[in-house]
A = this chain, B = another copy of it.
Amino acid sequence: MGKRGKSNRFNVFLNYKLWLSSMSGDGIISEEVYTLLNGIRDKGSLKAAAEAADISYRKAWGDLKQAESMLGYDLTEKTRGGKKGGHSELTPAAKKLLEAYAALQEKLDDAVEEAYLELKKKMEN
């Protein structure tokens, strides 16, 4: 047998979750909302985005509404009726938010990864 590492391997994963909240803490924009916005951008409707995210339309609609009310401006432009029954698309502000969020997530992913390796090292000593 060759040598090997300590036997108490710290065999767990570090996860994290981000969200934006209002000062009062009532409304939140969770990662779910970002998923929805991405879906809306890709599919052109909240219904399709909700299905893709595997959450009920009712909840998706409520979450989006709450996010918009919290920010104080719209993230989507919605229309009812029309050839395809209606559709939703992102406002410029939403597009900016998605971009900014992606950058933020990448940066934090790196920070978490780094912190995790340190945690692990400490726990294996």
Interface residues of A (CB under 8 A from B): 8, 11-23, 29, 70-73, 93, 96-97, 99-101, 103-104, 107-108, 111-112, 114-116, 118-119, 122-123
Contacts and interface: CB of A to CB of B under 8 A. Distances in A.
B29 A22 contact: no
15 contacts: A12-B21, A12-B23, A12-B71, A13-B20, A14-B19, A14-B104, A15-B19, A15-B21, A97-B123, A101-B119, A103-B118, A104-B115, A107-B111, A108-B108, A111-B112
A56 to B, nearest CB: 23
Contacts of A71: 12
Nearest to A116: B104
Contacts of A96: 122-123
A20 to B, nearest CB: 4
Nearest to A97: B123
A97 B124 CA distance: 10
Contacts of A100: 118-119, 122-123
